[in-house]
Chains A and B, each alone.
Chain A
Amino acid sequence: MKNASFRQKLLTSFLAIGILPLLICTLLMLNIFRLSLTRSAADAAETQLDAMSGELSGLLSDCETVMEKLCAEPAVAAALDRSELDEQRVYSVLYRAAAPVLGGASLSVYGADGRQLYSTSSQPASGSLSPRWGLLAAAADGGVVYRGASSKSSACIQAACAVRRGSVPLGYVVADVTAAQLTALFDGQYTATSRLLLLDPFWDQVYASSDLPAKTLAARLRSQLLAGQALSDSHGAYDYFVRQEPRSGFCLVLQQPKPMTEGTAELMYLVAGLSLLLCLGLCVLASMRFSRQLFEPIRALNSAMREVEEGNLNVQLDNRRIDEMGQLSGRFNRMAQRLRQNLKDSLRQQRELNEAQIRMMQAQLNPHFLYNTLDTIKWMGKIHQAPEIATISADLADILRSSISADELVPLRQELRLVERYVEIQNIRFSGAFALTVEVDEPLRDVPVPKLMLQPLVENAILHGFRDRSGGEIRISAYRAEEDLILTVRDNGCGVPEEVLAQYRDGAPRPGGHFGLHNVDAILRIRYGPDRGVRFVPVQGEGACIRITLPVFRKGEEPPC
């Protein structure tokens, strides 16, 4: 599951949500339905069994009453010991006593030897019963006993009790209940689709409703009872309900068709299965659709990002949606746009830097030759007694040495000395008296600063500030404000024209007449950030004041380049 794709997870979730509740619901419903059907069928069967058991009990109880009455009847005892030979009198006693049960049972009197002597049954005498076996043997022990009748007899149930004189049995009173009488007794007590079995206490069949086939069912039920299995037939089409009649111990077994036949159950399971399948199909369709809706923009985004990864920043996503996926695409488009812009900017900066470097390299063309030449000029000046030539050559050589050195950062001290050389040259050139005042504390003179940074500022003051003058004062001061070194170059010249001031105020000066100033500004911005640069500070009186702000680095610390 952890490795499954989003689509598979979505499908699984849809299936879980769509199928599981339905499945549980269907199973529950089917089971509840089946259960309630089964229960109502069982209730009906139990009610019917109660009624039939009651009927049987009533009949047997009536028989018992009659039999006990007959046993106590002197005429019966007299008939049995042959002292009363008037058959009609015996029969009249027998019929009178048996009147309450004659519809449900027939009564007979058997002799002690088991011969049938008198019977209310209209059927021919069923002969004799063994007094040492079965019914009569049991009756001899006392009380009323019940047996399922032997197959030879037409009766189904036989009850007997002994007529005694003292403890010796004179004979027996026997009640026979035939199949026809049982059929009449139970008629209408159970539904037409049910079948009834009457079993003796040891579960041998005594009676079966006429539509029940052979005796094998009773044998089957008996073996199931003994094996502790639920009662069933070979097809499993019926339910069985049992009720034991308390008086005789006989069992009534009601065979009732199962409330839900196999066919019905199959149909219901089929319908449930089909609806589950339908649901399954819908789930698959819906999850595919949703996953496509979700997955398509994600896939587009994914491939767009891969293109960006490979360097194509011109990717744009088709963005017509307004949902979350739409917002995501919009953000991606903006991000790509921003990246594109950044790349363009950095390319431009790189190009500018390259150009400056090229210019610088061109400027460095064969400096040693120039340096040696200057040295020669210096010596020639000295030889020819022209000290100014010697001084200019020496100064220019110094400036040249500084400018061709490979270091980009030099101590402020070196920059100041270079400015002094420059001013010396300019004083000779213009026969002027440019006074340079340096107000820098000794510790600050070791702060590294970009090379050739001060000279253009001083040059700017001399070329532009003192354009129409033959003298002036230039003051360089430095002080420290927290981590910044602040350098100001102030002159008392004619000041800076308003359009140049405006350019530097806006922060992006164009190269114009103040070429050196512009270079310094560009170097500072590239090296230290766009907010560093050349600033013109308003001054009291005439002249101009240029301020630059640099971060202070001790020697050895690397500037953030």
Chain B
Amino acid sequence: MGRRCLILALTALLLTGCAGSPGQSAATLAPAESDRVVIYTSHKEEVYGPIVKEFEARTGIWAEVVTGGTNELLARIAGEADAPVCDVIFGGGVESLTAYERYFQPYACAEADLIRPGLRPADDLWTPFSSLPVVLIYNTKLVSPGELTGWESLLSGRWSGSIALADPAVSGSSYTAAATMLCALPGDDWDQLDRLAVQLEGRVLPDSGDVVAAVAGGSCRVGVTLEETALKRQAQGADIAIVYPEEGTSAVPDGSALIAGAPHPDNARAFLDFAQSRDVQELVVSQFSRRSVRTDVSDGDALPPADELALIDYPVRWAAELKDAFSARWPELLREEALS
């Protein structure tokens, strides 16, 4: 037996032992475990890229970035709950984050006092990153200014079959928009949703990115989207205009959260601090067409000030809890409309 083992070992040595490993010197360049942070992000590369890069340069911490859709990443975090891999989830609407808040641990950022009122959660389970008002848009060639004023005018029947809305059952931002509409309009929620489905004539767009394209391209006259998306396309020269609904709108932040049991908690906190730091928040305003969550960072000059937006107090928890019932009911409403 011993001899057989020896022969096996010898063979293994012959087959593998002599092979040089060309990557050896690279291993010495790999950062120590204490210099790493794992970030799951649903932001686009143009958003997380500069922030992560600057974070690395300033702190010397290597960031491992995993990208994906918000719900996909949150499901992954839930799956890894026993042995967390991720330190920070960066990005994602706070309703989505709220639905998974049992996988987070509270952290109040170093400058949490400077967060605008209403954006900081009481339990600090997530930290806001940017404020994203829901807006209505219209095609400036097809619609005159003043024709579209708010949610009620959207459901007035004037835009039947010509409203661009991403499927709220799929798109997080579109769900926020729908929930905002429900909050802003009086009356029974399901009736309002039924009205919306009627006006949509059962048609929704598969992705939130398609809304602006549909309106700018003229296939829909009006649309519901986030201010950030609209501003970006507007800057690129699309023929769209933004309407802040007169009944009021929400400015639900997207946020970040520290994962419970994170392998690199200190580095994760450093990143959360950094994401809320003044430098990054200024970048959010100047580069990403978003609104900052900090009181000491003013929004872009071209944007109407936040206090003129008639912001409603968006009930995040209510919206998060409604989501299941909504996901069950909404496709039925759509189907009925599509059939009729």
Contact = CB atoms under 8 A, between A and B. Distances in A.
A31 B56 contact: no
Interface centre among A132, A240, A242 (most CB of B within 10 A): A242
A244 B28 CA distance: 10
A35 B18 contact: yes
Contact of A31 (B19, B53, B54): B19
A61 to B, nearest CB: 21
Contacts of B282: 132
B166 to A, nearest CB: 29
Interface in B21-68: 21-27, 29-31, 36, 50, 53-54, 56-58, 62-64
Sorted nearest first, the 6 A-B pairs with minimum C-beta distance are A230-B23, A31-B18, A239-B22, A231-B23, A27-B14, A242-B26
Contacts of B283: 133
B20 interface: yes
B122 interface: no
A39 B19 CA distance: 10
A39 B14 CA distance: 17
Interface of B: 10-11, 14-15, 18-27, 29-31, 36, 50, 53-54, 56-58, 62-64, 279, 282-283
Contacts, number: 78
A473 interface: no
Interface string A137-180: 11000000001001000000000000000000000000000000
Interface stretch (A187-195, A221-229, A289-297, A535-543): A221-229
Given A134-B54, A150-B50, 14 more contacts: A24-B10, A27-B11, A27-B14, A27-B15, A31-B14, A31-B18, A31-B19, A133-B279, A226-B36, A226-B64, A239-B22, A240-B26, A242-B25, A242-B29
A225 B26 contact: yes
Interface in A235-250: 239-244
A94 to B, nearest CB: 27
Contact of B54 (A133, A239, A242): A133
Contact of B14 (A24, A138, A223): A24
B297 to A, nearest CB: 11
A350 B131 CA distance: 130
A232 interface: yes
A229 B27 CA distance: 8
A42 B57 contact: no
A420 to B, nearest CB: 88
Nearest to A46: B25
28 contacts: A24-B10, A28-B14, A31-B14, A31-B15, A31-B18, A31-B19, A42-B20, A133-B54, A133-B283, A134-B54, A134-B57, A137-B279, A138-B57, A202-B63, A225-B26, A225-B27, A225-B29, A225-B30, A226-B62, A229-B23, A231-B26, A240-B22, A240-B26, A241-B25, A242-B23, A242-B25, A244-B29, A251-B29
Contact of A230 (B14, B21, B29): B21
Interface of A: 24, 27-28, 31-32, 34-35, 38-39, 42, 132-134, 137-138, 147, 150, 202, 204, 223-226, 228-232, 239-244, 251
A32 B19 CA distance: 9
B326 to A, nearest CB: 38
A147 B57 contact: yes
A251 B57 CA distance: 15
Contacts of A28: 14
Interface centre among B20, B21, B22, B27 (most CB of A within 10 A): B22
A230 B21 CA distance: 8
A150 B50 CA distance: 9
Contacts of B30: 225-226, 228
Contacts of A24: 10, 14
B56 to A, nearest CB: 4
Nearest to A229: B23
A137 B282 CA distance: 14
A287 B25 CA distance: 51
A34 B20 CA distance: 9
Contacts of B56: 202
A27 B26 CA distance: 29
B247 to A, nearest CB: 38
B18 A230 contact: no
B64 A202 contact: no
Nearest to B23: A230
A138 B10 CA distance: 55
Contacts of A39: 20
Contacts of A224: 23
B19 A38 contact: yes
Given A24-B14, A133-B279, A230 B22 contact: yes
Contact of A231 (B22, B31, B36): B22
B62 A202 contact: yes
A228 B29 CA distance: 10
Given A226-B30, A251-B29, A38 B20 contact: yes
Nearest to A243: B25
A31 B20 CA distance: 10
Contacts of B18: 31-32, 34-35
B279 A42 contact: no
A35 B279 contact: no
Contacts of A226: 30-31, 36, 62, 64
